[in-house]
Amino acid sequence: MYEEKVVLENEAGLHARPASLFIQRASEYKSNINIIKDSTRCNGKSIISVLSLGAKKGVEITIRGDGVDEKEAVISLVKLVKTGFGEK
């Protein structure tokens, strides 16, 4: 298991387009990906699950990977979040 914390900096947080981009990137990896916000954990490869978090700008999330390429996956996803999903 490998995880990193990151703050959502894009204006709308994990709304439909950024959530879709997150899931597309997460699906490129074999590892299980979870997003944790407060005490809620969701499947990072499920659009419904990610949208249900209601993660808005300024919220800190933890991205957790578990599997053969977990570290690579988490680092890539954190980078995606830090770049604002291309919205900046």
| Catalytic positions | 15
5-26 burial, b at 16+ Cβ within 10 Å, e below that, comes to ebebbbeebbbeebbebbbebb
User: For residues 48 and 19, what is the distance between their CA atoms, to the nearest angstrom?
Assistant: 9
User: For residues 73 and 48, what is the distance between their CA atoms, to the nearest angstrom?
Assistant: 20
Structure tokens at 32: 């299980």
